[in-house]
Amino acid sequence: ERVDLVELAMAAAEGFHAGRPEHPLSFDSQVDSLRLDADPMRLRQVLDNLLTNAAVHTEPGTAVALRVRTEPDWAVVEVADAGPGISEQAQARVFDRFYRVDDSRTRGSGGTGLGLSVVHSLVAAHGGTVSLTSRPGDTVFTVRLPSASLVGGSPQVDS
């Protein structure tokens, strides 16, 4: 199915704005349109999971960023937050099923620890990858979808 990643990300940003009004969201895209062959509901689920995590782990009023860009072989979408971050030991495990960082901050917050494992599976099902970099104040989840899935085979820059 043909999906415009920019449109999909904008819709996710709007959903976030409605559901998490206490967090300003900045949306930024390098391109006006990025059409790929993908499952729109699943990609939306990926973005919603990452955006929800970003909101849950940051103070109200702290901005969350959603960015779309391209690399030579990938369509890239990133979710960044300025929260406390994820320790290096935990970074290796956050995509595992049921894994949750056990600290005072998250112990009471009631997630299942499945969100990121689902993100990982859904992205892999599209032939893509998800990775993260994190230090206090700067956590970025990066989803890469193969350029092979781009309609026309290369980034479409509409102007």
> Which residues contact residue 63 at a Cβ distance below 8 angstroms, ignoring those fewer than 6 apart?
23, 24, 25, 26, 82
CB 49 within 8 A of CB 66: no
Half-sphere exposure of 120 (CA within 13 A, CB side): 14
CB 132 within 8 A of CB 142: yes
* Residue given tokens 């998800």 in the structure block: 130
CB of 4 to ligand ATP, least distance (A): 26
> Which residues contact residue 124 at a Cβ distance below 8 angstroms, ignoring those fewer than 6 apart?
none
CB 28 within 8 A of CB 65: yes
Each residue 92-131 as x (binds ligand ATP by CB under 6 A) or -, in order, gives --x----xxx----x----xxxxxxx--------------
31-90 positions binding ligand ATP, by CB under 6 A: 53-54, 57, 81, 83, 86
DSSP structure class, residue 107: G
CB of 77 to ligand ATP, least distance (A): 15
Question: For ligand ATP, which is the closer residue by CB, 78 or 81?
Answer: 81
Answer for which of 83, 115, 128, 155 binds Mg ion (CB under 5 A) is 115
Question: For Mg ion, which is the closer residue by CB, 53 or 134?
Answer: 53
Q: Which stretch binds Mg ion (CB under 5 A): 46-54, 60-68, 78-86, 150-158?
A: 46-54
- Counting residues that bind ligand ATP (by CB under 6 A) gives 19
CB of 148 to Mg ion, least distance (A): 29
Residues that bind ligand ATP (CB under 6 A): 53-54, 57, 81, 83, 86, 94, 99-101, 106, 111-117, 139
